[in-house]
């Protein structure tokens, strides 16, 4: 893939119209107030029939599972090796990526909220849950009728997510479990209806030797407290909160996979990979918007009697932003192609892409603020918000430092 197709452009154009009509006018309340993004996200999903598409793909996958793999259903366009099915798979991924790019031009936080719900929470249930658990929890999450959260980070465990994890599950002796612990920086935490809670099985053994398990919790489960949104630097359209679990009693049907044998760490790389690849599309939206606002400003802002775009120092900023945009777009294209060919991105490659895109988005957004001068520092001008929003791309889904370690570890492993 070297260019967006006509259909991709048509999707981008349609979503952009929605974003400019529905999201842009509410940017103040979303980014400078406490309005949660969910109603708007639901409206977008409804408007473009995204829920129906996701539910159809979900139904096809459940059908494949129930058949125990084997031959694909004749009418399932994504389940064969023909060029048409490559295209269908690639288009399915593109249809998720394009709205991400378009929303990120205005409110990257909304993508974080949506990505954690539909991407991470659903993704975890789909890779670890039983078929019954998938059917029970996933459909309502795909339409965002219910909001999902994925809880791993704790006050004392961030980059060392598993090593320092304190949250525990203890067997209750009757086939169920008692859960304890506190989680923080949980996207959608304040409003989530369905929470994937990751913790260690306490069998009286040392913390280091404990298995990591994951559970699905509903809002309102006795013993579960969801905090109010935390104040943060940017991405205010993504509510972030804390979760507190005190003697939360759950049955085995809440244990993902319904078996203690499915150790969470074993498949964690896939979750981390998918989380990291999502950042490239977000970075692309932020960079595209910063660049287009900067070009307009450079053409129209007059100083010393001419538009500042005529000064070479400003031209250099624009040129470097364009280089970043091209690179990030190429990474996004590669992701779409890989998905089309049914190939997963390796963790090292996902880390490399995420590291580059997050840094580039931050640099471009900072340069956009610089190019706008005093105006860029004012909340009235959009680049100020995008700059604050971009920073978290270097922190969440693994910090830049963790990505760097992962890439180096992969290079040196042989």
Partner 1 sequence: MKILVPVKRVCDPDNANKVKVSADGATVTSDGLEWKPNPFDEYAVEAALRLNENAPKNEKLGETLVCSLGPAEVAQTLRQALAMGADRGILIDATDGQLDTTVVARALKALVDKEKPDLVLMGKQTVDGDSNAVGQTLAEMLGWPMATFAMTVSTNDGGKTLTVGREVDTGVLTLKVTLPAVVTVDLRIVAPAGIKNGATPADHKYNEGARYASLKGIMQAKKKAIDQLKLSELGIDTATSSAYPKFELPPARTGNCVFVETVDDLLGKLRTQAKAI
Active site residues: 275
Q: Is 299 one of the binding residues for partner 1 (CB under 8 A)? A: no
- Which of 305, 413, 301, 414 has its CA nearest to residue 368? 301
Cβ proximity to partner 1, 11 vs 122, nearer residue: 11
Name the segment binding partner 1 (CB under 8 A); options: 43-51, 163-171, 205-213, 387-395.
43-51
Maximum Cα–Cα distance across the chain: 80
Tokens read off for 368: 């956009």
Cβ proximity to partner 1, 52 vs 160, nearer residue: 52
Q: Is 25 one of the binding residues for partner 1 (CB under 8 A)? A: no
280: exposed, middle or buried (C-beta count within 10 Å: 0-12, 13-18, 19+)? buried
Binding to partner 1 (CB under 8 A) within 72-111 occurs at: 91, 95
* Smallest distance, partner 1 to C-beta of residue 197, A: 32
Please list the residues that pair with 243 across neighbouring strands.
183, 226
- Which of 157, 150, 264 has its CA nearest to residue 212? 264
150 three-class SS = strand
Q: Is 145 one of the binding residues for partner 1 (CB under 8 A)? A: no
Q: Characterize the bridge pairing of strands 168-171 and 148-151.
A: unpaired
Distance CA 409, CA 357 (A): 20
* Smallest distance, partner 1 to C-beta of residue 92, A: 10
Contact 190, 181 (CB under 8 A): no
Question: Binding mask 166-185 vs partner 1 (x if CB under 8 A, - otherwise)?
Answer: --------------------
Name the segment binding partner 1 (CB under 8 A); options: 4-12, 140-148, 178-186, 363-371.
4-12
Q: Is 338 one of the binding residues for partner 1 (CB under 8 A)? A: no
- Which of 54, 224, 77, 82 has its CA nearest to residue 141? 54
Binding-site size for partner 1 (CB under 8 A) equals 15
Cβ proximity to partner 1, 6 vs 380, nearer residue: 6
Helices (H), 48-115: 50-66, 83-104, 108-114
Q: Is 48 one of the binding residues for partner 1 (CB under 8 A)? A: yes
Among 23, 50, 199, 347, interactor with partner 1 by CB under 8 A:
50
* Smallest distance, partner 1 to C-beta of residue 393, A: 26
* Smallest distance, partner 1 to C-beta of residue 320, A: 24
| Residue whose token pair is 């525990």 | 168
Distance CA 310, CA 291 (A): 16
* Smallest distance, partner 1 to C-beta of residue 125, A: 23
Q: Which residues bind partner 1 (CB under 8 A)?
A: 6-7, 10-11, 14, 17-18, 47-50, 52-53, 91, 95
């Amino acid at each position: 893939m070297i260019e967006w197709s006509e259909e991709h452009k048509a999707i981008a154009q349609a979503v952009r119209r929605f974003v400019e009509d529905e999201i842009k006018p509410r940017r103040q309340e979303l980014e400078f107030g406490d309005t949660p993004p969910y109603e708007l996200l639901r409206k977008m999903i409804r408007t473009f029939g995204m829920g129906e598409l996701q539910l159809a793909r979900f139904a096809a996958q459940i059908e494949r599972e129930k058949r125990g793999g084997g031959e694909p259903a004749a009418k399932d366009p994504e389940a064969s090796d023909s060029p048409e099915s490559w295209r269908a798979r690639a288009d399915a991924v593109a249809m998720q990526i394009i709205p991400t790019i378009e929303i990120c031009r205005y409110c990257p936080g909304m993508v974080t909220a949506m990505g954690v719900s539909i991407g991470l929470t659903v993704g975890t249930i789909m890779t670890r849950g039983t078929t019954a658990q998938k059917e029970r929890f996933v459909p309502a999450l795909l339409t965002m009728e219910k909001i999902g959260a994925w809880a791993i980070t704790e006050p004392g465990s961030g980059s060392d997510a598993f090593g320092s994890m304190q949250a525990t599950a203890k067997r209750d002796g009757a086939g169920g479990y008692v859960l304890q612990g506190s989680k923080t920086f949980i996207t959608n935490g304040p409003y989530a209806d369905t929470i994937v809670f990751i913790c260690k099985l306490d069998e009286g053994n040392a913390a280091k030797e404990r298995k990591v398990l994951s559970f699905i919790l509903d809002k309102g489960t006795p013993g579960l407290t969801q905090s109010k949104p935390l104040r943060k630097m940017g991405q205010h359209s993504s509510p972030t909160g804390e979760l507190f679990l005190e003697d939360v009693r759950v049955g085995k049907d809440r244990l993902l996979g319904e078996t203690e044998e499915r150790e969470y760490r074993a498949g964690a790389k896939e979750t981390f990979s998918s989380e990291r690849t999502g950042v490239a599309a977000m970075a692309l939206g932020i960079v595209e918007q910063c660049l287009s606002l900067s070009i307009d400003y450079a053409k129209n802002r007059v100083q010393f009697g001419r538009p500042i775009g005529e000064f070479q120092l400003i031209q250099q900023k624009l040129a470097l932003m364009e280089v970043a945009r091209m690179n990030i777009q190429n990474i996004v294209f590669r992701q779409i192609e890989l998905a089309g060919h049914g190939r997963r991105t390796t963790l090292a490659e996902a880390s490399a892409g995420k590291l580059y895109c997050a840094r580039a988005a931050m640099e471009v957004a900072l340069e956009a603020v610089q190019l706008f001068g005093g105006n860029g520092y004012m909340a009235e001008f959009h680049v100020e918000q995008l700059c604050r929003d971009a920073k978290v791309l270097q922190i969440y889904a693994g910090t830049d430092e963790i990505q760097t370690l992962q890439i180096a570890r992969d290079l040196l492993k042989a």
